[in-house]
Structures are given as C-alpha cells and as structure tokens.
C-alpha cells in the first residue's frame, strides 16, 4: 500500500492596515475546494470589517502533507500572533 497523492487546501484570510497604521489579520477559513472558497469570499466582500478593505483578501493554496519551508517562513515573518 503506497502513499496517496497529496490534496490541496485553500486558505482564505483578510489583512489590512488602517489610517493609523494598525495592522489587522483575520484567518477566515481553510477549504477543501475552490468552489467553497469562492462562495465564502463573495459572501465576505460586503460584510462589516471586510468591505472597507476589498483588496485585503488573501488566498493561498497548500498541498496537504507537503512541507514548503520557504513559504512557511515567509508566512511567519509577515503575521503577528
């Protein structure tokens, strides 16, 4: 029995910097399909907290069980926890 092919997941987040320099990052969800991601993205575009910064949506695609150290380091360097 071999290892199955890796599957993709899609991460939807929203990030912006307001006029006072305050950075906000919101992880919205992780999806198993682009269709679900696109539906949720469309729903969030007009919601409070998102509509004022329509260019703040981030979509990232990852392979499950795949380690991309460079991408992970970049993610950690740009986000505050």
- 40 Cβ partners below 8 Å, 6+ apart? 12, 28, 29, 31
What are 12-40's pLDDT values in tens digits? 999 999 889 988 889 999 998 999 999 99
Q: How far from 31 is each of 5, 38, 77, 78, CA to CA, in Å?
A: 18, 10, 23, 22
What are 55-74's pLDDT values in tens digits? 999 998 888 777 676 776 66
Q: What is the pTM of this model?
A: 0.74
| Short-list 6, 8, 7, CA closest to 61 | 8
Structure confidence at residue 79 (pLDDT): 56
What are 43-59's pLDDT values in tens digits? 999 999 899 999 999 99
Query: Quick one: the chain helix, strand, coil %, rounded to 5?
Result: 30, 30, 40
For residues 51 and 37, what is the distance between their CA atoms, to the nearest angstrom?
Answer: 17
Domain boundaries, the chain: 8-78
């Amino acid at each position: 029995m071999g290892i199955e092919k890796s599957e993709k997941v899609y991460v939807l987040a929203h990030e912006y910097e307001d006029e006072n320099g305050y950075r906000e990052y919101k992880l919205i969800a992780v999806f198993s399909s682009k269709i679900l991601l696109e539906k949720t993205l469309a729903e969030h575009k007009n919601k409070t907290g998102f509509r004022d910064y329509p260019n703040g949506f981030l979509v990232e695609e990852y392979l499950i069980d795949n380690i991309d150290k460079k991408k992970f380091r970049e993610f950690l360097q740009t986000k505050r926890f």
